[in-house]
Every structure is written in C-alpha cells, then in structure tokens.
Structure 1
Amino acid sequence: MLAASVIMGGAVYGYIVQFYAYNDVLIVKAFHLFSAISIGIIVYAGFMLFFGSREAISIKNRFAGKLGLGS
C-alpha cells in the first residue's frame, strides 16, 4: 500500500511538473523525486487514517514526535 501510494503520488506529481521540469539540472530532479515521495507518504497516511489502522496511528505519532507535537 505504501509503495502504491508513493508511485501514485510520484505519477501525479511527475505529470504536473513534466512540462517545465524537463531540462532541469540534476539537483532539481532530485528535489522533484523527494517531493513525489513526500506526496506519496502523505497520501498513504491519509488513506490509513481514513481507514483508522494502527499502522497509521503509529506513523502519525512518529511524525508528531519528530515535530514535538506530543506522543
């Protein structure tokens, strides 16, 4: 599910940026890849929170802990 969400997020993001990112330098391409992965993780977390799985709660708590927002 995580991999599918990352691929889906990457496909959507790649389709959006392909028109102006075709001639970008490598560092910008790497940033686009990172953005696509981030979008995929956000989509995955959204799906899991919607279905209320324990995995999603642990992911949410991990990010909240890194941001200092509680457990």
Structure 2
Amino acid sequence: MFGKIIFLIIIYLFFSMNLFAQKNNIPQELIKIKADQIIYDEKNNTYQAQGRVSLDQGKRHIEADKIMVNLNTN
C-alpha cells in the first residue's frame, strides 16, 4: 500500500512539472511509452500500459508495472 502511494506521488510530480513548463511557454516534449501491452482509449484520449513499462519524456524516465497517461490533462 505504501509503495502505491509513493508511486502515485512520483507520477503526480512527473506530470506537474510538465504543467509548470506549459505555463512558461516551454515546448512540450513527446511522451514515449514502451510496455508488454499498450491500450489506447480514443474516447478518453488515454493510454494504459502494463508489464515492464518504461516512460520517457525529455530527460524524465519512469519504470513501472502499470501506468496510465491522459493526453488531455497530461
């Protein structure tokens, strides 16, 4: 349980940095996701990745078992 809370905090910080960058008109960098399984939900504009997930955005890098990226809210 504690590990999940830490993971959620890391994800929040990862994406909140991007929101701060947008306010300063810094160009948004591409999000690159690698995983065993990736599902795109067109209706919600989200990606869900599972199994050996690796997420990169510029110099930022995260590895996890599962991750969800909302392209509307980043």
Smaller-chain TM-score range? 0.3 to 0.5
TM-score normalised over the length of structure 1 = 0.40
TM-score normalised over the length of structure 2 = 0.39
Larger Rg belongs to? 1
More strand by share: 2
| Structure with more contact order per residue of length (Cα contacts < 8 Å, sep ≥ 6) | 1
